Copies of this chain bind each other. A is one copy, B any other.
Amino acid sequence: MFDVIKGDLEELEKELLSAVDSPVEIVREIGTHLVMAGGKRIRPALCLLAAHGGVGFELRRVLPLAAALELIHTASLVHDDVIDEAGTRRGVPTANAKWGNQISILSGDYIFAQAFQLVAMQDYGNYVYHRLAELVGNLSAGEIIQNRQVYMASRDIEDYFRRIQKKTADFLEISCELGGVVSGMDGERTKQLAEYGHCIGMAFQITDDLLDIEQTEEKLGKPAGNDIRQGIVTLPVIRALNESPDGEELEVIVTDPEMTEEMAARAISIVRASDGVSFAKDRADEYLDRARKVLPEGLPEAVREALLMVADFIGERDF
């Protein structure tokens, strides 16, 4: 999909491994495991694509930033997995399952620090440091808010959109924006790319939340209905709460911290029987349309195509 940055992404893997290298064996072992457990590298990919659109693109210059974005994401997943007591992620044992909570908390901190270290060694200027620190602050604050609202079943769709913005869309927005910033893109185009990132991020998280309703444990690499069990209501669930004839029953289930497996299964079947899934897909598609439309003029054709393909990819996503 990403031919134009295929070589860049290979370099990225090296950059990531070298960032978590350490003379201390256990630190290197954990860091390597976490980096290799491998995500989709969506944040660095967006950052690199955006950077290719700048007049001053240089791989060596943007690579530490791209790696820092992925490391921040990795660190926050490590802490999320401790918080969620998750045993696997993408089918691979989590750090907490492998090494325990203590080591995982510390490893997350270590990886955050390595991200800031990578960036500190470049000459990106204060704005980049500021945006990254703000990002980490907002990610944590967003999770704190989410944790305080579990089992509350807010029916407010705007609440949900604010939540996923803090959790995902801001991150993808910043990835695009800073890629443009460090490679000399002009302010107007950088702003348009940032909006593209925001829209992609909103669609990405809506789709991700949908998978938790639609898919099997085997395919997800973690149990389905995980959000519901944790008292987190996502877009299809909110829609079903508002529109399903079984909305009241659904509310009783998703506000019950003592929810059994049977109750969770019943909640999923109520949501699946409602128009919640198609409603959420439509919202995701709207964001993807906006993402396609807001792409700035004058991007290199291969970059433009790749960014359009990212939008298609998220729309068809079942991974």
Contacts and interface: CB of A to CB of B under 8 A. Distances in A.
Q: Which 5 A-B pairs have the closest CB atoms?
A: A120-B129, A113-B137, A113-B136, A110-B140, A117-B133
Given A116-B133, A116-B136, A134-B117, A126 B123 contact: yes
B114 A137 contact: yes
Contact of A110 (B24, B110, B144): B144
Interface string A24-55: 10110010000000000000000000000000
Interface of A (DSSP majority class): helix
Interface residues of A, number: 45
A80 to B, nearest CB: 9
Interface stretch (A99-107, A152-160, A216-224, A242-250): A99-107
Contact of A106 (B101, B102, B143): B143
A113 B133 contact: yes
- Which residue of A79, A110, A114, A119 has the most chain B CB atoms within 10 A of its CB atom? A110
A83 interface: yes
A121 interface: yes
A145 B26 contact: yes
Interface string A279-319: 00000000000000000000000000000000000000000
